[in-house]
Amino acid sequence: MNEMKDTILLAGIGLIGGSIALAIKKQHPHKRIIGVDISEEQLTAALKLRIIDERADSFTEGAQKASAVIIATPVTQTLHMLDKLAASGISHDLLITDVGSTKQKVVSYADQVLPPHYQFVGGHPMAGSHKSGAAAAKEFLFENAFYILTPGQSTSKESVGQLKDLLKATNAHFVEMTPEEHDGVTSVISHFPHIVAASLVHQAHHCEEDYPLVKRFAAGGFRDITRIASSSPAMWRDILLHNKEKLLERFKEWKREIDTIESYVENEDADKLFGYFKKAKDYRDGLPLRQKGAIPSFYDLYVDVPDHPGVISEITAILADEHISITNIRIIETREDINGILRISFQTDDDRKRAENCIQNRANYETFYAD
């Protein structure tokens, strides 16, 4: 029975699930993690990387051996797994959580189908990466990020405390809220911005026929503000369908917002245009700088270098000497509102700060980054 108490089933061994498993292993080295995934490749990688200790032949088989179940799959698949748990006939207590970006449907469904001795705590770790899969998992992925917990109607405070203890080594900031509050907040600062980014890209694509240079000029700031449009289409299809009601509210608000600014332009109302942008600037400048939010941060450093042969190899050699990893490097052609010719992307803010110091000290180039 003690073996079962110390066993966790992880369903879905990608970036999020794998990172949670590594954090648990750090804090609770005695815990045994069983993995299940539809991808044989991810299972094999997870075993090699010691993210999991063993694999299960099926989700239900793994749950029978565990006292806790972490479902790190898309929301639609999570609902299927809740059905499997409800039909499993497992008689011992189970602590169950998920990692989905929408919470109302999942938590409501868990309340509806799960028996009382199963305790479900909805979860949403608000961190991610441009990489995916088990190989990208890191035990510190969620450090200083918000980790939202949305207990169900029948979830005990003790169960929430148990989950927090299990996830303590993530070093995340746990925030409890209702599923309704969660879906409302994320619709504003995560879900709807993805819709806006995708719509801007569609607009650029439609205009390319009339303005063939659109794609070339979009390589600068436009590419940056629409980067989230590169997210998984399948994931965002599911998120929008599962957070339909909140997003319909956002559409109405957005239409009113666009109508307002359109009227200012049509009437050439300079004062209202200035006030509109001033109010947006003031609010945006007051947003927290050092906290991770719903949309993963990117850590870009702009370097003001002369565009001559060998400059990229010069910079990369400096960073290599300091053992600083980069995720991307490129020359910027469209530089409106951007200081610097070279843009270097890093995985963490610490890497960016170290890079800034060594480039300034060793190469004497000016560096900049946007807050």
pLDDT tens, residue by residue, 18-46: 999 999 999 999 999 999 999 999 999 99
Whole-number Cα distances in Å, 83 to 34, 109, 121, 234, 239: 20, 9, 16, 22, 20
Phi, psi of 294 (to 5 degrees): -70, -35
pTM of the predicted model as reported, rounded to 2 decimal places:
0.80
Strand partners, 68: 8, 95
Whole-number Cα distances in Å, 175 to 126, 147, 188, 246, 260: 11, 6, 17, 20, 35
Of 53, 55, 47, 42, the residue nearest 133 (C-alpha) = 42
Q: For the packed helices 244-266 and 270-285, what is the interaxial angle rounded to 10 degrees?
A: 140
- Cβ atoms within 10 Å, residue 369: 19
Q: Residue 38 has what pLDDT?
A: 93
Q: Residue 291 has what pLDDT?
A: 58
Q: What architecture is the 299-368 domain classified under in CATH?
A: 2-Layer Sandwich (3.30)
Q: Residue 336 has what pLDDT?
A: 47
Name the DSSP class of 364. Answer: -
Name the DSSP class of 291. Answer: S
Domains 2-177 and 182-285 share a fold: no
What 3-state class would DSSP assign to 90? coil
Q: Residue 335 has what pLDDT?
A: 46
For the chain, the structural domain boundaries read 2-177, 182-285, 299-368
> Distance between CA atoms of 158 and 154, rounded to whole angstroms?
12
> Distance between CA atoms of 325 and 323, rounded to whole angstroms?
6
Residue with tokens 């480039």: 359
Amino acid identity for residue 148 in this structure = I
Q: Residue 314 has what pLDDT?
A: 86
Contacts of 139 (CB under 8 A, 6+ apart): 19, 22, 23, 25, 26, 169
| Contact criterion met (CB below 8 Å) for 246 and 184 | yes
Of 288, 231, 254, the residue nearest 101 (C-alpha) = 231
Tell me the CATH number for domain 2-177: 3.40.50.720
> Distance between CA atoms of 283 and 299, rounded to whole angstroms?
21
Categorise residue 323: left if φ over 0, alpha if ψ from -120 to 50, beta otherwise: left
End-to-end CA distance of the chain: 52
> Distance between CA atoms of 133 and 318, rounded to whole angstroms?
30
> Distance between CA atoms of 106 and 102, rounded to whole angstroms?
8
Q: Residue 153 has what pLDDT?
A: 92
Q: Residue 132 has what pLDDT?
A: 79
pLDDT tens for each residue of the chain, 371 residues long: 467 889 999 999 999 999 999 999 999 999 999 999 999 999 999 999 999 999 999 999 999 999 999 999 988 899 999 999 999 999 999 999 999 999 999 999 999 999 999 999 999 998 876 667 888 888 888 888 899 999 999 999 999 999 999 999 999 999 999 999 999 999 999 999 999 999 999 999 999 989 999 888 887 678 878 888 888 898 899 999 999 999 999 999 999 999 999 999 999 999 999 999 999 999 988 887 655 565 666 678 888 877 677 878 888 898 998 889 888 887 765 444 555 577 888 877 788 888 988 888 888 788 877 65
Tokens representing 339 are 């200081």
Q: Residue 91 has what pLDDT?
A: 94
Amino acid identity for residue 164 in this structure = K
> Distance between CA atoms of 156 and 184, rounded to whole angstroms?
24
Q: In the β-sheet with 342-346, what is the strand arrangement from edge to edge?
A: 328-331, 342-346, 299-304, 366-368
Tell me the CATH number for domain 182-285: 1.10.3660.10
